[in-house]
Structures are given as C-alpha cells and as structure tokens.
C-alpha cells in the first residue's frame, strides 16, 4: 500500500510538472510574440531563399520565416487563397490574378537565373554547342539520336555517341517550363504552333518526367544520354555539363555568373514599373538566351502590422546584403539599378491595418 | 485421488452449467469478433465506394477513353492511362518470370533433401528477410547498383541485336528492365515461401512411392513432387504477381515515368502505382478524378489477381488432404 501511494504521488508530480511547463511555454510565447512568416512557392529560388532565411536568422533572431517549396503554380494559388504571408513565383502574376488577390498584390523581383540545357554524355571530348534550330528541334523530339547530322554539323570535332536522346522534363506546373517554352515560342514557329507557351506543355512521348528542378537535375545525372532543362543553380550544384546555346546575335554562350549579370544589365530598360518583366529572347552580344526571373508575391496591405514590417525588413535585407550570397549558389546578383527598383516596389507595401 | 480443479468449484463435481460471467464473456467475444469482421469488410466496401465516387465524374465524362488513351497531357486536359497499364503489366510479368524461376528453384532446393534441414531453415529465413527490406531501399539500390551494373550489357545487346524489338533502345538510366529486375527480387520471398509450403505439403508417401518405382532424385522432383504441388506453386506465382502490380516506391524511382508503349526492355515506361504516387501532390480537380479512375483500375487488377491466387491455394490445400 505504501508503495502505491508513493507511485501515486510520483505520477501526480510528473503531471503537475508537465502542466507547469506547458503554461510557462504559453506565457513565454505571449510575452515575446515573435512573428512567424509563412511563405510558399517556386522551387527554382528555394535554395537561395533557404540560405537567405538561415543567414537572416543572425541579423534578426526574433523573426521566424518558413518557406514551403511547392512550385510556382501552387505558390500563386496559396497566395491568392490567403493561406500564406507571402508567395513566390517564377511566373509574373496576371492582371486578373492581381485583381483577385484578397489584400492586393505587389510583386517584387528578388533574383534571377538562367535556364540551362544539362546533359549527361560521359566520355564526350568537349562541350556540346547547340544552335537555335537544333535545340528547338531536339526539345520537340525531332532529333532522336546524339550522332544526328544536325548536331554533328555544329560540333564537328565532338565524338558524339550513337545513343538515343532521352529528354528529361518537368512533370509539375513550373515557372522554368514557362521560361523555356516562351523562349522557344519566340525563336521557333514550329514550337509556337505546337506545344506553345505554358507552365505545362506537351512533350514527345518518350520524355521522362521528374518533379521539380532538383528532380530533373538528379534524373539527368543518373541517366546516360539524357538532356533536360533546369535552372543553372541546380546544374551547378550537381556539377552537370551544360550546353552552350546560340543567342540572338549568333554567338554560342556558356551559362555562368558574368554572363548572367551582363544579360540583365543589357536588358535593364525593358523592366516595367511593376517589375513584371519577361524577356523571351534577350538582346546583346554576350547575353544568354534563356533568362528567368523570380518574384516574391506580397500583399498590398498587411493587416497584421508586426508581420508586415518584419517581412519588409527581411526583403530589404535580401535585396541589399543578401544579394552577395546569390552567385555562389548559381543565381544572378541583381544589378544595383534593378535592386533599387525592387526596393521602390517594396516601399509601396502598407503595413498599417487597412481602414 | 487428486482433483486438480477442485479449488475452482464449490461442489465436488467439476461439471456445472456455465456461469453468467462465462456466458457474458462468450457473448462479448462473439460480438467483438463479429464487429471486427464487419469493420474490416466495410472498410473494403467504403474504400472501393469512396474511390469509385470520386472517379465517377471522370468515368461519366470520358468512359473507356481514359483506359484506351495513350496521351497524358494536363495542359490539354487529355488523360490516357493505357501506357501505365501496359507498363504495370509488362514490368510485373517480367518480374514474375524472373522471380518465379528463382523462387521455385529455391523452393525445390530447400525442400527436396539437397540440404540439411537445419541449414535449409536458415536459408529460408534469409530469403524471407528480403521481404523486410523497405521499398525505398530497393529503389536506391536499383539506381546506384543495378542500373550501372546492367548498362554495359544492355548497350552491347542494343548494338548487336538492336533489330529485335525487345532491345531496340539504349538504356539511359531508369527503365523497364532495371525496374522489373528489382521487382523480381522483391517478389522472390513471397514466391519462395509459398512454393516451399506447397512442396512440403506433398505427403511423404508420394515421394516414397516414386522412389519405390525406381525414379532418380530429379525424376522424383520434376515428375512427381512439382506436378503434385503445382497448384500451390501456381498460387504463389499469382500472389507474387499481385505484389508486383501494386508495388509503388521502388518503381517510381526506377521506371523512368515516360508515357510510352514500347516493347523495348531498355526504354523508360510508367506504371499505374508510380503514376498515382507522382501525380497526386500537384493534381488539379480534373486530374484527381482521372487518378481516382486509374486507382480503381489498379485496384481491380490486383483484386482479381489476389482473389484468384487465394482461391487456387485453397483449392490446392483441399486437394492435398
């Protein structure tokens, strides 16, 4: 009997301790009330956003930012459904979408990248070059073998293997697909009248589908004879070979950091006031033909003032100090002129409660 | 004389009508058992109904076009699952062929006096351990071991015998053959275990009679033992097929997710289960209806195969006694 009483006292003690802990935790939360900012969207900038979020933790330890990597399509949907504090997309919002946003929408350009054609051809004695006709035909499934005369003609010295070309494409609704398909529609009438422009387009039937940029990059890495389109940062991360593509002026350009900045600087005047820029075929001598942008989708009004101010502070930091982290991860550091415009757009976000 | 249960009863006799508590426990247990049966059964019914209802709009809208269609293009709202059905059946049948051959050989080896019974038991346990390896581990193993290992061979085959439709493409990475091979290993434990039981169930006197008539060891195995256990072995194959049809994770990693119907063993393909797993996270409303339809088709295929397998095994066991 004595033992039982002892156990009973022990158990009630434990329960009391747990109850105390829980209440004190709740109290602590009420006292400080740290803002938790939830965002969701594009996969392309996700590695950079994660890096920014981690680095920003040291600047402002009080703010917690969470970013769910769900793809541009889903990011826009969640932003318009008002289930996140900010969205992220590689495709600019349409006027209709902006009109239907419950608290208004401001798009802020935060970083840019290049879409590259990554291939896996072990033992190739050089770098693959592709001109405009060839890569659009290849992505339409009209060139089926690597030693096709059209590819060999541009790469006379390459020992192209007698293998089938395996296309690796995105299975999900994707901003990267949008950038690629709008570029191809601009340069090839066959593409424009065939697959067209979209976050999802029709692909040749033997294409392999993979989810997300990381899925395509990983599948290219382990499939011999494959070629797929990914953002430069993902190809760089996995050290994939990327094809040199012919630009508008007929030069073959390798995607790298300098080319990215040069491409942005050469096309700066094309950026409209609302930042919803989209250049399907950039001009200039050393410009890379497939340039992609990515936006944060912000509410015009943040009813919760604390959330709104901390979010604005975070994005200001991303556009300033944060830009220095871009190129290491394979993103293009925004030229100052563009960053300035982004900051201007950010300033229009209101954080006082709406009347 | 000892009366071991005497302390349980009040009278001298241990015979007495069941007490109210015994009756209560008995009834309660019967109710519980009945409830369990009803719950499990209604779970299946609810599952089929739920999926059926969600698939209904798509069935009404496009009918059999979904099953016979070959194009899956969300942008154009075209949904055809024939390539996935083809890939499911093709990969499962190859897996059944390979896994069946090795599984039955193993069962013969372990039951027909080739090994000391204790050693045979150890081997059996090892084979059954294969069933405990998670599917995703098989998938990773397929990617990093099987594909690089078979690629030189498949390249050779494609180069020299490329005119045969089975070898008509190059193996790039994921594809039908690696998927089917990994699948074969995954269904091996099922086939080996059930076949062993079937072979063990053959009465000893059958074998002795065979020896008595002057057969050799191998004649006894191939002409008497295996034919006698044939229905059970066939049942094991059907169960293995059932498992192969529904396998998801490893196939999603290895099959290549390409919607084409090709005879080539080296081409990427698709299966129903892999398609479901990969498409659900991003699917819009109209796509979900079609995926439910595809789930219904997959469920029907596996249900038929499994019911068939169980029936054959029951029949075989009854025939044995």
pLDDT tens digits along A64-96: 999 998 888 888 989 999 899 999 998 888 888
**CB distance from B258 to chain A under 8 Å?**
yes
Q: Which two tokens stand for residue B310?
A: 């169980």
Rg (CA), chain B: 26
Q: What's the pTM?
A: 0.80
Indicate the DSSP class of residue A195: T
Which residues of A fall within a CB distance of 8 Å from B76?
A: 202
pLDDT average, residue stretch A96-114: 88
What pLDDT score was predicted for residue A15? 56
Q: Please state, for a pLDDT cut of 70, what percent of chain A lies above it.
A: 90
pLDDT average, residue stretch A297-304: 88
Residue in chain B nearest A167 by alpha carbon: B258
The CATH fold assigned to A35-112+297-346 is D-Maltodextrin-Binding Protein; domain 2 (3.40.190)
What pLDDT score was predicted for residue A3? 46
Q: Where are the domains of chain A?
A: 35-112+297-346, 114-291
| In contact, A91 and A105? CB cutoff 8 Å | no
What pLDDT score was predicted for residue B319? 60
Question: How many beta-carbon contacts under 8 Å exist across A and B?
Answer: 71
pLDDT tens digits along A218-233: 999 989 999 999 999 9
Residue B150 falls inside a structural domain: yes
Q: A 62-81 residues with CB below 8 A of B? A: 71, 73-74
Integer distance in angstroms from the first to the last C-alpha of chain A?
67
What pLDDT score was predicted for residue B37? 95
What pLDDT score was predicted for residue A28? 46
Q: A 146-175 residues with CB below 8 A of B? A: 163-164, 166, 171-173
| In contact, A78 and A88? CB cutoff 8 Å | no
* Residue matched to tokens 């004879």: A225
Residue B155 falls inside a structural domain: yes
Contacts of B66 (CB under 8 A, 6+ apart): B58, B59, B79, B80, B81, B290, B293, B294
Q: Which two tokens stand for residue A297?
A: 């989708």
Residue in chain A nearest B142 by alpha carbon: A222
Q: B 172-231 residues with CB below 8 A of A? A: 172-174
Distance of alpha carbon A345 from alpha carbon A106, whole angstroms: 7
Give A161 to chain B, closest Cα distance, Å.
11
Domains A35-112+297-346 and A114-291 share a fold: yes
How many domains would you assign to chain B?
A: 1
Helices then strands, each counted (H, E), chain A: 13, 12
The CA-based dihedral angle spanning residues B39, B45, B46, B51, taken in that order and rounded to the nearest 10 degrees: 150
| pLDDT level of residue A199 (50, 70, 90 thresholds) | confident
What pLDDT score was predicted for residue A103? 86
Backbone angles phi, psi at A156, to 5 degrees: -60, -30
| In contact, A287 and A262? CB cutoff 8 Å | yes
pLDDT tens digits along A330-349: 899 988 888 888 898 888 88
Angle A88-A91-A95 from CA coordinates, rounded to 5°:
100
Parent domain of B106:
55-320
Answer whether residue A19 shows pLDDT above 80. Answer: no
Which residues of B fall within a CB distance of 8 Å from A71?
A: 282
Residue B304 falls inside a structural domain: yes
Q: Comparing A36-40, A133-137, A259-263, B70-74, which segment has the lowest mean pLDDT?
A: B70-74
Note whether ipTM > 0.90 here. no
Residue in chain A nearest B140 by alpha carbon: A222
Interface touch B256/A208, C-beta < 8 Å? yes
Q: Comparing A34-38, A234-238, A240-244, A276-280, which segment has the lowest mean pLDDT?
A: A276-280
Mean pLDDT score of chain A, rounded to an integer?
85
Distance of alpha carbon B221 from alpha carbon B199, whole angstroms: 10
pLDDT average, residue stretch A300-317: 88
Q: Comparing A29-43, A101-115, A197-211, B285-299, which segment has the lowest mean pLDDT?
A: A29-43
Higher pLDDT, B14 or A13: B14
**H-helix or E-strand spanning residue A115:** strand A105-120
CATH 3.40.50.970 fits A114-291, yes or no: no
What pLDDT score was predicted for residue B77? 80
- For each of chain B's 321 residues, which pLDDT tens digit applies? 555 665 665 556 667 788 889 999 999 999 999 999 999 999 989 998 999 998 888 888 888 888 888 888 877 788 888 999 999 999 999 999 999 999 999 999 999 888 888 998 899 899 889 888 999 999 999 999 999 999 888 888 888 888 888 888 888 889 999 999 999 999 999 999 999 999 998 998 998 999 999 999 889 998 899 888 888 898 899 889 988 998 888 998 899 888 888 888 888 999 999 989 888 877 777 888 889 999 999 998 988 888 887 887 787 766 654
Tell me, what CATH number does B102's domain have?
1.10.3720.10
Residue B218 falls inside a structural domain: yes
Residue B22 falls inside a structural domain: no
Which residues of B fall within a CB distance of 8 Å from A217?
A: none
Answer whether residue A113 shows pLDDT above 50. Answer: yes
B287 CB burial (10 A radius; 0-12, 13-18, 19+): middle
Q: How many CA atoms within 13 Å lie on the side-chain side of B283?
A: 17
Highest average pLDDT, of A27-31, A301-305, B192-196, comes from B192-196
Q: Comparing A122-136, A167-181, A261-275, which segment has the lowest mean pLDDT?
A: A261-275
What pLDDT score was predicted for residue B163? 84
Residue B200 falls inside a structural domain: yes
**Nearest residue, CB atoms, A209 vs list B151, B257, B262:** B257
Closest by CA position to A208, among listed A219, A195, A194, A196: A219
What pLDDT score was predicted for residue B156? 85
């Amino acid at each position: 009997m004595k033992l039982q009483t002892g156990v009973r006292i022990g158990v009630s003690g434990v329960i009391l301790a747990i109850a105390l802990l829980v209440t004190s935790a709740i109290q602590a939360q009420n006292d400080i009330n740290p803002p938790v900012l939830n965002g969701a969207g594009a996969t392309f900038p996700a590695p950079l956003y994660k890096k920014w979020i981690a680095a920003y933790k040291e600047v402002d330890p009080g703010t917690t930012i969470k970013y769910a990597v769900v793809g541009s399509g889903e990011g826009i949907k969640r932003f318009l459904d008002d289930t996140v504090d900010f969205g992220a997309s590689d495709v600019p919002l349409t006027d209709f979408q902006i009109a239907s946003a419950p608290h208004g929408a401001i798009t802020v350009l935060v970083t840019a990248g290049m879409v590259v054609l990554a291939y896996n051809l072990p033992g190739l004695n050089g770098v693959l070059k592709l001109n405009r006709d060839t890569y659009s035909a290849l992505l339409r499934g009209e060139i089926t073998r690597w030693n096709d005369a059209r590819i060999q003609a541009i790469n006379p010295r390459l020992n192209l293997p007698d293998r089938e070309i395996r296309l690796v494409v995105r299975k999900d609704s994707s901003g990267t697909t949008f950038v690629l398909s709008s570029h191809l529609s601009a340069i090839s009438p066959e593409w424009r009248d065939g697959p067209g422009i979209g976050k999802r387009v029709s692909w040749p039937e033997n294409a392999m589908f993979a989810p997300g940029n990381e899925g395509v990059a990983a599948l290219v890495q382990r499939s011999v004879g494959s070629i797929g389109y990914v953002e430069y940062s993902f190809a760089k991360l996995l050290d994939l070979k990327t094809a040199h593509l012919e630009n508008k002026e007929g030069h073959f350009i390798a995607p790298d950091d300098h080319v990215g900045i040069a491409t942005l600087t050469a096309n700066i005047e094309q950026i409209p006031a609302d930042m919803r820029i989209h250049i399907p075929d950039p001009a200039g001598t050393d410009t890379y033909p497939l340039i992609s942008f990515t936006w944060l989708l912000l509410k015009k009004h943040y009813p919760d003032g604390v959330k709104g101010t901390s979010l604005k502070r975070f994005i200001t930091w991303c556009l300033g100090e944060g830009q220095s982290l871009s190129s290491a991860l394979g993103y293009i550091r925004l030229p100052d002129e563009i960053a300035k415009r982004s900051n201007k757009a950010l300033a229009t976000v209101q954080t006082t409660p709406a009347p | 004389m000892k009366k071991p249960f005497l302390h349980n009863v009040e009278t001298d006799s241990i015979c007495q009508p069941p007490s109210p508590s015994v009756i209560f426990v008995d009834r309660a247990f019967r109710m519980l058992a009945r409830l369990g049966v009803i719950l499990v059964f209604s779970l299946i019914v609810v599952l089929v109904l739920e999926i059926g209802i969600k698939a209904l709009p798509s069935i009404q809208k496009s009918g059999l076009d979904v099953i016979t269609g070959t194009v899956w293009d969300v942008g154009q709202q075209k949904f055809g699952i024939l390539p996935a059905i083809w890939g499911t059946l093709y990969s499962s049948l190859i897996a059944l062929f390979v896994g069946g051959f090795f599984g039955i050989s193993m069962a013969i080896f372990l039951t027909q006096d080739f090994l000391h019974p204790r050693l045979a038991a150890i081997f059996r346990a090892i084979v059954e351990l294969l069933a405990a390896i998670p599917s995703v581990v098989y998938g990773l193993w397929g990617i990093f071991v099987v594909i690089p290992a078979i690629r030189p061979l498949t390249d050779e085959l494609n180069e020299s015998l490329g005119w045969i439709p089975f070898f008509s493409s190059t193996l790039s990475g994921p594809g039908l053959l690696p998927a089917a091979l990994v699948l074969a290993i995954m269904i091996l434990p099922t086939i080996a275990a059930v076949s062993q039981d079937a072979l063990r169930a053959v009465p000893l006197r059958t074998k002795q009679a065979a020896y008595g008539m002057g057969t050799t060891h191998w004649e006894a195995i191939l002409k008497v033992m295996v034919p006698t256990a044939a229905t059970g072995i066939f049942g094991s194959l059907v169960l293995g097929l059932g498992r192969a049809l529904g396998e998801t994770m490893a196939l999603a990693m290895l099959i290549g997710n390409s919607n084409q119907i090709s005879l080539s063993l080296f081409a990427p393909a698709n299966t129903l289960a892999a398609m479901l797993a990969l498409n659900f996270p991003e699917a819009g409303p109209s796509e979900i209806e079609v995926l439910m339809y595809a789930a219904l088709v997959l469920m029907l295929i596996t249900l038929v195969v499994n019911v068939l397998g169980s029936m054959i095994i029951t029949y075989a066991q009854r025939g044995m006694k």
